[in-house]
């Protein structure tokens, strides 16, 4: 059977992935060019608003509000192909589907997200959701995080962070702050440990120093260059590895609560494809988001190789670039638009306050508001809990544009005195 015999049908645009990035591009294209034939290839029947899972784990959001039927998210006039993409034949403008089918395209958008590699941590999958082992990186376990925090009676709480890349650079520590704040408000004691496989609290030094102070306020100890490699849930033990002087050393610790952020990678069908770079991500020009070798292919979101944080805020600014550039290539006119690497992380430092980190390529600080961004504010809590979900469900995934308000602003290097949760009676460790 030749390639053309396997093709079920052809579309002007095929989008692989029905998450935030894929649905939003489909909706935007549909609004701008109603005559285009567009298909979204997505096997799941559920669509998740993942940025709220940290709040769910901290007892500040209802998990049911983070999930909708996928059918309700597909834009009117867009074909939903409920199947799994298994490969690409870019020289023939074909994607492969499970069970041997194929779909043809004129333009392709790859928005397949990333995968959570739970099995790379020995014993983790067998104990998630019990024995005090939890993770906000899954819809099934975020409520258990809150159960563990709410029922806390003291002991050691351990929070982990893998090496990048992973979704939302601030999520591993945000739940630590929510837990620590909850326990402090109730007069409960906790030995709080943060095991970070990297070397700093945040990739942008401007914000990292402020987060060091938040950790100190909660008397939380940060351990760097420690990678979680194994968990024994019933025994409440975890093992971390670090490399010193070229030698790998393993450390065993006990815990009463263990919040795990799993290592993450590009999906296997992406890594094995002709679209991938050496690290397995869809290889794109970091500004135009056009594929490095195939001009009729674009990619955005977690799966693309653009060197920025994998956040919903980054996707928000990638959507108009991809949609606009796709139409320019399809119609053969116009200079390609450019994405500046913008990403944002609402760093929840307590229940009711958020430090809003906004930046672009090179770690340049680019706030949307003319306010010192290292100061945790109630305004940003409102933004995180109420406005951003509305923007997601009712605006961006419906194809509506939203103005870009970020821009470079200069601030003093010294931390502002109002930025920190000062507690002079507590000594830093």
Taking only the tens place, the pLDDT of each residue in 118-160 is 999 999 999 999 999 999 999 999 999 999 999 999 999 999 9
Q: How far apart are CA 406 and CA 342, in angstroms?
A: 8
What integer best gives the mean pLDDT of the chain?
94
According to DSSP, the residues that pair with 134 across neighbouring strands are 259
Q: How far apart are CA 105 and CA 363, in angstroms?
A: 37
Residue 296 and residue 174 share a domain: no
Is 386 within the bounds of a domain? no
Q: How far apart are CA 127 and CA 143, in angstroms?
A: 15
Residue 156 and residue 50 share a domain: no
Residue 149 and residue 80 share a domain: no
Q: How does residue 417 score in pLDDT terms, banded at 50, 70 and 90?
A: confident
| Last-in-domain residue among 299, 331, 363 | 331
Question: According to the model, what pLDDT value does residue 246 have?
Answer: 85
Global pTM reads 0.94
Is 63 within the bounds of a domain? yes
Q: CB of 240 within 8 A of CB of 253?
A: yes
Is 107 within the bounds of a domain? yes
Q: Is 352 left (phi over 0), alpha (psi -120 to 50) or beta?
A: left
Residue 102 and residue 128 share a domain: no
208 is in which domain, residue-wise? Answer: 116-264
To the query of whether residue 85 is one of the catalytic residues in this protein, the response is no
Q: How far apart are CA 75 and CA 37, in angstroms?
A: 12
Count how many domains the chain has.
2
Residue 8 and residue 88 share a domain: yes
Q: How far apart are CA 108 and CA 106, in angstroms?
A: 7
Residue 257 and residue 137 share a domain: yes
Q: CB of 260 within 8 A of CB of 233?
A: no
Beta-sheet pairing, 102-110 with 7-16: parallel
What's the CATH number where 53 sits? 3.50.50.60
| Last-in-domain residue among 282, 307, 331 | 331
Residue 124 and residue 95 share a domain: no
Is 376 within the bounds of a domain? no
Residue 221 and residue 127 share a domain: yes
The number of C-alpha atoms within 13 Å of 383 and in the hemisphere containing its C-beta is 18
Is 249 within the bounds of a domain? yes
Residue 123 and residue 102 share a domain: no
Q: How does residue 414 score in pLDDT terms, banded at 50, 70 and 90?
A: confident
Residue 238 phi, psi dihedral angles, 5° rounding: -135, 150
Q: What is the DSSP string of 341-392?
A: --EEEEEEEETTEEEEEEEEGGGEE--SSSS-TTS-BHHHHHIIIIIHHHHH
Residue 120 and residue 90 share a domain: no
Q: How does residue 364 score in pLDDT terms, banded at 50, 70 and 90?
A: very high
* Of 127, 105, 110, residue with least CA distance to 118: 127
Q: CB of 349 within 8 A of CB of 177?
A: yes
Q: How far apart are CA 359 and CA 411, in angstroms?
A: 13
| Last-in-domain residue among 242, 264, 286 | 264
Is 368 within the bounds of a domain? no
Angstrom CA distances, 29 to 78, 114, 235, stand at 10, 23, 53
Q: How does residue 420 score in pLDDT terms, banded at 50, 70 and 90?
A: low
| Euclidean distance between the first and the last CA atom of the chain, given in angstroms as a whole number | 68
Question: According to the model, what pLDDT value does residue 7 have?
Answer: 73
Tell me: the pLDDT tens digits for 229-276?
A: 999 999 999 999 998 888 899 999 999 999 999 999 999 999 999 999
Residue 299 and residue 216 share a domain: no
Residue 174 phi, psi dihedral angles, 5° rounding: -60, -40
Residue 324 phi, psi dihedral angles, 5° rounding: -65, -45
Q: Which of 85, 148, 168, 304 is catalytic?
A: 168
Is 413 within the bounds of a domain? no
Residue 240 and residue 141 share a domain: yes
Q: Which of 85, 148, 304, 345 is catalytic?
A: 345
* Of 161, 157, 205, residue with least CA distance to 183: 157
């Amino acid at each position: 059977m030749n390639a053309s015999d396997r093709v079920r049908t052809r579309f002007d645009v095929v989008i692989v992935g029905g998450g935030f990035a894929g649905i939003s591009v489909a909706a935007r294209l549909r609004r701008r060019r109603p005559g285009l034939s567009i298909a979204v290839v997505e096997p799941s029947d559920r669509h998740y608003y993942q940025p709220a899972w940290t709040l769910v784990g901290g007892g500040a959001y209802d998990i049911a509000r983070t999930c909708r039927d996928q059918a309700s998210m597909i834009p009117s006039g867009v074909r939903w192909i409920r199947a799994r993409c298994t490969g690409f034949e870019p020289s023939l403008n074909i994607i492969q589907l499970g069970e041997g089918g194929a779909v043809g395209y004129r333009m392709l958008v790859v928005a397949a997200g990333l995968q959570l590699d739970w099995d790379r941590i020995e014993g983790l999958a067998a104990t998630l959701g019990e024995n005090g082992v939890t993770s906000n990186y899954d819809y099934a376990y975020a409520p258990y995080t809150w159960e563990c925090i709410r029922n806390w009676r003291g002991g050691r709480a351990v929070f982990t962070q893998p090496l990048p890349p992973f979704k939302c650079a601030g999520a591993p520590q945000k739940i630590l702050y929510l837990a620590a704040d909850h326990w402090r408000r109730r007069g409960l004691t906790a030995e709080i440990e943060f095991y970070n496989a990297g070397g700093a609290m945040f990739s942008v030094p401007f914000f990292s120093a402020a987060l060091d102070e938040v950790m100190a306020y909660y008397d939380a100890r940060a351990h760097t260059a420690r990678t979680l490699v194994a968990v024994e849930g019933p025994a409440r033990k975890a093992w971390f590895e670090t490399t010193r002087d070229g030698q790998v050393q393993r450390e065993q610790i006990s815990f009463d609560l263990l919040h795990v952020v799993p290592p993450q990678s590009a999906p296997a069908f992406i890594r094995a494809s002709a679209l991938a770079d050496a690290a397995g991500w869809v290889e794109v020009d970091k500004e135009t988001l056009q594929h490095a070798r195939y001009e009729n292919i674009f990619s955005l979101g977690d799966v693309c190789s653009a060197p920025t944080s994998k956040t919903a805020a980054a996707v928000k600014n990638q959507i108009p670039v991809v949609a606009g550039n796709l139409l320019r290539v399809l119609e053969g006119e116009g200079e390609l638009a450019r994405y500046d690497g913008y990403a944002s992380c609402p760093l929840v430092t307590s229940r009711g306050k958020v430090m809003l980190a906004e930046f672009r390529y090179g770690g340049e600080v680019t706030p949307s508001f003319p306010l010192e961004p290292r100061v945790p504010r109630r305004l940003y809590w409102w933004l995180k809990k109420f406005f951003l979900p509305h923007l997601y469900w009712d605006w961006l995934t419906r194809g509506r544009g939203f103005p870009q308000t970020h821009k470079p602003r200069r601030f003093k290097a010294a931390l502002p005195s109002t930025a920190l949760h000062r507690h002079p009676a507590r000594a830093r460790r």
